[in-house]
Amino acid sequence: MTDVVHKPDLAPPVTTVGVIGWVRKNLFATPFDTVLTLFGAYLVITFVLPALNWAIIDASWSGKDQSACTGEGACWVFIIERINFFVYGFIDEKFYWRVNLVFIMFAALIVPQFLAKFPKKAWLGWFLVTGYPVISYILLVGGSFGLADIDTGKWGGIMLTLVLSFVGIVAALPVGVLLALGRRSKMPVIRGICVCFIELWRGVPLISVLFMASVMLPLFLPEGVNFNKLLRAMIGIVMFQSAYMAEVVRGGLQAIPKGQYEAAEALGLNYWKSMVLIILPQALKMVIPGIVNTFIALFKDTTLVLIIGLLDVLAAVQAAIVDPAWKSVATEGYVFAAAVFWVFCFSMSRYSQALERKLYTGHKR
Amino acid sequence: MADKPKAAKGLTPAKPPPWNNPAVRSLVFQALALALLGYFFYVVLQNTMSNMESRGITTGFQFLHEPAGFGILMSLIDYSETDTYGRTFFVGLLNTLLVSSLGIIFATILGFTLGIARLSRNWLISKLAVVYIEIFRNIPLLLQIFFWYIAVLQTLPGAKHSLKIGEAFFLNNRGFYFPAPVFKDGFGLVVAAFAAAVVGVVYLVKWARRRQEETGRQFPVFPVSLGIIIGAAAAAFWVEGMPISWNYPTLKRFSFEGGGRIIPELMALLWALTMYTAAFIAEVVRSGILSVSHGQTEAARALGLRGGPTLRLIIIPQALRVIIPPLTSQYLNLTKNSSLATAIGYPDLVSVFMGTTLNQTGQAVEVVAMTMAVYLTISLTISTGMNWYNKKMALKER
């Protein structure tokens, strides 16, 4: 009994822990795995590294014109020199502060929404979709409060993209919710109208909707009445995306158990009260990922307005890269535009994932 | 609580006033909606009529029989400038169908590969797949099309300095050139042998399944069928004395002649559609595979199934139930997105018909209606098919 001596446990073999263990387990577990890893390494060496090299190490960052670029790497000078055009389009430089103010207000209103505990967060959210658009309209269009007019034809770049997507998002959600409710209505006529509307817009490409908005809308209106191009594009985008939104929301409505509808009725709530207080809060929460995906799709789809002649970020890049003062800067321009879209879309998708986790209250069974 | 219930006096409740009767209300609402809609369409129609009259546009589809008078970059059917506007419709439609079907095939292959790579236990492969998916999913398709078309394909060298693989495949700023097959007389027999072999294999599969159900004995269906199909076609090919030759592209003074050519517009569009849609398909595939719970794999193992049959008989059928509906909607998106062709001038339906033809004839209403009808028909056909499949595959519960 006494000769049992407790020795400390042996350390695990070095090949199963630490860096070596990790590498063996995750990169070289089987011969096939090794082949895959080598293939992956080949991809990294041939595509990823040269791309990084081009974009960062060999790139030219400072200078005034073409001569500052060595030609080896990316010519970011081009982007830096034309950044005002990419952000504001053709808006006169003396009006930049108005656009900036709109941007800053947007940032100030949206950032609290991402923070967990912020006082009066819900009020700020409501202000973002009610008061803020009005103030932005006054600032961006002008013509009142002593502000000079800005022609909407001069809007462009990131500013136009953001305006189009903001309007699209704020308008498409309520229209989509109404369409979804209509599609589940017990009244055959209302249901029929909503089904036709949704299926019609979902069945055709956005380009044809925009074409229709730009070519056919003027034909539909009485003579003398005319919307400007921007408004027509907005109408097209909202019509199109609200149909998609309706289908997403309908998915949520269908997932609510019948007991919830019956309970709302038993409480004596009328249709709108039971929808707004009982059904929609649960249904919308359930389909947040789908709603944000629709927002992302809408944001990306705003690029299509260049086909009907509006100057969004992509169109601004397209216009700038053919400038004879700069040679072969197409790739830089597209990479810049891609980065702009990527940042917005990627953060939206991450936000939706975070929100989904936060709102998860155990309804999924 | 404040208002007194009127029904308290008698046993039967007093009839509610008509404006509180749900049936009456719903009738009134519907009649109102219908009237508003009718009025809306009436006004639109009136406006359109008067607008078209003042612009001197005649309505109707007669313009389809008039000569078009413009050339089209690429056509799958014979087309010349003297053909009618009606024919431009079919040229565009076929080009749309071509790029969509090719895009669907390539995007499916790439998307499934990426989706599986995303779930790989190999860290590097899975991370590379994530990077690919997150980059290409979050950049607008139109931007990607422009990138491939303007920043990549248009900066390729000219015909004389083409990139080449051997002396058969050439890539330059005018497109991709490849040897085109030329079929000689006896090739019909090869096709016939192939078709016969396929029919034979169908019967073989039926027989093998019946035998397995009756006796439990399995038959190596896949290798045998593959052998029959390849063997029959190869035998016919050899008997007929190899009735095929290749027409190689050759460099003439400024460009290539002979062989087949894929125009850069098609390449850029196809490439962008494939890369973009594949990123979405990869996510669909991933969620489908993850939706099959691990218990299914364990149950299959407990029944004594090996890795291959587990995947084939247990996992994939259940994953497909989740994958197919969103996959179909990705296919639909790809088809609709192919209309972005108009931005780089690939002659698809929107670009040819809703672009050039509309501009030349001014028949906006007819042209837009026809184009939308085509896309609607495609969408509705596919979604009807999908609903049917969904019903067939849905879990049969109590």
The answer to whether position A50 is within a domain reads yes
The answer to whether position A176 is within a domain reads yes
The answer to whether position A99 is within a domain reads no
Same domain, A215 and A334: yes
Say if the Cβ atoms of B29 and A346 lie within 8 Å: no
* 3-state DSSP assignment of residue B343: helix
Q: Which of A204, A314, A331 sits opposite B375 (nearest CB)?
A: A204
- A331 contacts on B by Cβ (under 8 Å): 147, 151
Domain boundary among A57, A78, A105: A57
Q: How far apart are CA B312 and CA B302, in angstroms?
A: 16
Sequence-ordered list of residues with C-beta below 8 angstroms from that of B128, at least 6 positions apart, any chain: A40, A43, A44, B117
Total tally of structural domains belonging to chain A: 2
Q: Which of residues 110-169 of A touch B (CB under 8 A)?
A: none
What is the domain range of residue A41? 18-57
What proportion of chain A, given as a percentage, has pLDDT over 70? 96
Same domain, A348 and A235: yes
Same domain, A176 and A311: yes
pLDDT in tens, A140-188: 777 777 777 777 777 888 888 998 999 998 899 999 999 999 988 888 8
The answer to whether position A120 is within a domain reads no
CA distances from A21 to A15, A26, A39 (A): 5, 8, 21
Distance from CA of A184 to the nearest CA of B (A): 14
Say if the Cβ atoms of B336 and A205 lie within 8 Å: yes
| Concatenated DSSP letters of A72-108 | SS-BHHHHHHTHHHHHHTT--GGGHHHHHHHHHHHHH
CATH number of the domain that residue A245 is part of: 1.10.3720.10
Q: Which of residues 257-296 of A touch B (CB under 8 A)?
A: 296
Q: Please say whether the beta carbons of B99 and B341 come within 8 A.
A: yes
Q: How far apart are CA B346 and CA B340, in angstroms?
A: 9
The answer to whether position A62 is within a domain reads no
Confidence band for B7, pLDDT divided at 50, 70 and 90? very low
Say if the Cβ atoms of A349 and B151 lie within 8 Å: no
Same domain, A331 and A219: yes
Same domain, A164 and A289: yes
pLDDT at residue A292 in the model: 87
What is this model's ipTM? Answer: 0.86
Q: Please say whether the beta carbons of B306 and B174 come within 8 A.
A: no
| Concatenated DSSP letters of B274-288 | HHHHHHHHHHHHHHH
Same domain, A48 and A193: no
Same domain, A274 and A157: yes
The answer to whether position A97 is within a domain reads no
Q: How far apart are CA A156 and CA B252, in angstroms?
A: 46
The answer to whether position A100 is within a domain reads no
- B336 contacts on A by Cβ (under 8 Å): 204-206
Say if the Cβ atoms of A203 and B137 lie within 8 Å: no
Q: Which of B50, B140, B368 sits opposite A303 (nearest CB)?
A: B140
Which residue in chain A is spatially nearest to B57 when comparing CA positions? A219
Q: Please say whether the beta carbons of B342 and B348 come within 8 A.
A: yes
- A37 contacts on B by Cβ (under 8 Å): 122, 124-125
B365 touches chain A (CB under 8 A): yes
Decide if pLDDT at A364 tops 50. Answer: no
Same domain, A207 and A317: yes
The answer to whether position A37 is within a domain reads yes
Say if the Cβ atoms of A204 and B135 lie within 8 Å: no
pLDDT in tens, B37-61: 999 889 888 888 888 777 777 777 7
Confidence band for A133, pLDDT divided at 50, 70 and 90? confident
Say if the Cβ atoms of A314 and B140 lie within 8 Å: yes
pLDDT in tens, A297-349: 899 989 998 888 888 888 888 888 887 777 778 888 899 999 999 999 998 88
